[in-house]
């Protein structure tokens, strides 16, 4: 049956995939995705036609997925994390729009994004208003990115940084830190999570002053706390404000909240 699923497979291991994502994969006869992601879900896609293309072939992947679905196949276009967060969903809809295609059934299946995964491993750093910024200036000009970093910094948003650094893009994270240091003290907690829920997972809790002493790469998500974020027992916590309104210690009657 002609259908296009755009599936967010979560950050890594299949346990972090949603039930619906697994169900959708089962319904597909063709799976299209970036090699690494196809490998992550290998045992869920046995016996299906697999079209796995490289990282820079996003446009071809989306075009191929749409073309194959229109030929009558049930196609799963897969994205790491959530397909609608720096993922394949936008591109797939753009391709459909370009083709003037309005009849093909399309279902976007949400997934656990890197910021959810990173936040869970760090404690509860994003428990208040936050912004997500990708530091990749391949598709967005740096001037725009910088404006967003400054605005989020000044508005005291917790900030999740996607695509913080790659082999070629190395100065962007340094510049980001410099801008944020104009809005927050060096002691502001920073979490660096690499390969969340994958074999090479690493979780580091540091601060704005020292963050660059740690490894940051293509597979890292960086979470910068706001002015209220603190570290307790190795976990990054951003209070929502309950502590100002209620007594949270033992015997205060708040245990069942
Ligand atoms: N659609 C994806 C994001 C793709 S952009 C999502 O929703 O998560 C790629 C960036 O996502 C990487 O540079 C990194 O910053 C982040 N990322 C993806 N998977 C990750 C993981 N398992 N652990 C930590 N960061 C990850």
Q: What CATH number is attached to the domain comprising 84?
A: 3.40.1010.10
Q: Are residues 46 and 121 in the same domain?
A: no
> In sequence order, what are the beta bridge partners of 197?
none
Q: Are residues 54 and 132 in the same domain?
A: no
108-143 confidence digits (pLDDT tens): 999 999 999 999 999 999 999 999 999 999 999 999
Question: How many Å lie between the centroid of ligand 1 and the Cα of residue 244?
Answer: 34
Q: Are residues 41 and 84 in the same domain?
A: yes
Chain mean pLDDT for the chain: 94
Residue 247 domain-assigned (yes or no) = no
Minimum CA distance residue for ligand 1 atom 18: 114
193-205 confidence digits (pLDDT tens): 999 999 999 999 9
Is 45's pLDDT higher than 80? Answer: yes
Minimum CA distance residue for ligand 1 atom 11: 162
Residue 227 domain-assigned (yes or no) = yes
Residue 242 domain-assigned (yes or no) = no
Residue 174 domain-assigned (yes or no) = yes
Number of domains in the chain: 2
pLDDT of residue 254: 55
pLDDT of residue 43: 83
Residue 203 sits in a domain of what CATH number?
A: 3.30.950.10
148-162 confidence digits (pLDDT tens): 999 999 999 999 999
Question: How many Å lie between the centroid of ligand 1 and the Cα of residue 163?
Answer: 7
pLDDT of residue 249: 84
Residue 37 domain-assigned (yes or no) = yes
170-182 confidence digits (pLDDT tens): 999 999 999 999 9
Last residue of a domain, one of 77, 112, 147: 112
Minimum CA distance residue for ligand 1 atom 2: 81
Q: Are residues 60 and 143 in the same domain?
A: no
- What ligand 1 atom has the least distance to the C-alpha of 84? 1
pLDDT of residue 52: 84
120 lies in which domain range? Answer: 115-237
Question: How many Å lie between the centroid of ligand 1 and the Cα of residue 195?
Answer: 8
51-98 confidence digits (pLDDT tens): 887 767 889 999 999 999 999 999 999 999 999 999 999 999 999 999
Q: Are residues 145 and 76 in the same domain?
A: no
Radius of gyration of the chain (CA): 20
Between strands 74-79 and 3-8, the pairing is: parallel
Q: Are residues 201 and 225 in the same domain?
A: yes
Q: Are residues 12 and 76 in the same domain?
A: yes
How far apart are alpha carbons 237 and 231 in whole angstroms? 6
Q: Are residues 70 and 153 in the same domain?
A: no
Q: Are residues 79 and 8 in the same domain?
A: yes
Question: How many Å lie between the centroid of ligand 1 and the Cα of residue 9?
Answer: 11
Position with higher pLDDT, 62 vs 39 = 62
Task: Report residues whose beta carbon is within 6 angstroms of any ligand 1 atom.
Answer: 11-12, 79-82, 85-87, 113-114, 117-118, 162-164, 193, 195-198, 218-221
pLDDT of residue 117: 98
Q: Are residues 147 and 97 in the same domain?
A: no
Residue 142 domain-assigned (yes or no) = yes
């Amino acid at each position: 049956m002609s259908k296009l699923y755009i599936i967010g497979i979560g950050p890594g291991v299949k346990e972090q995939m949603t039930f619906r994502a697994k169900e959708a994969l089962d319904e597909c006869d063709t799976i299209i995705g970036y090699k690494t992601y196809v490998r992550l879900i290998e045992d869920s896609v046995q016996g299906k036609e697999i079209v796995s293309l490289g990282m820079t072939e996003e446009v071809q992947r989306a075009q191929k997925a749409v073309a194959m679905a229109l030929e009558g196949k049930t196609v799963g276009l897969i994205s790491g994390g959530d397909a609608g967060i720096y993922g394949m969903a936008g591109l797939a809809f753009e391709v459909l729009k370009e083709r003037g295609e309005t009849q093909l059934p399309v279902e976007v299946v949400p997934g656990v994004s890197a910021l959810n995964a990173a936040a869970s491993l760090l404690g509860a750093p994003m428990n208040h208003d936050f912004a997500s910024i990708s530091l990749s200036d391949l598709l967005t000009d740096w001037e725009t990115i910088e404006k967003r970093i400054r605005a989020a910094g000044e508005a005291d948003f917790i900030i999740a940084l996607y695509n913080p650094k790659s082999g070629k893009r190395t100065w962007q994270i340094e510049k980001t830190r410099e801008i944020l240091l104009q809005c927050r003290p060096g002691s502001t907690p920073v979490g660096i999570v690499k390969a969340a829920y994958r074999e090479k997972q690493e979780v580091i809790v540091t601060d704005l002053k020292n963050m660059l002493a740690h490894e940051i790469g293509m597979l890292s998500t960086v979470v910068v706390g706001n002015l209220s974020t603190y570290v307790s027992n190795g976990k990054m916590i951003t209070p929502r404000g309950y502590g100002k309104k209620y007594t949270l210690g033992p015997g205060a009657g708040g245990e069942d909240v």
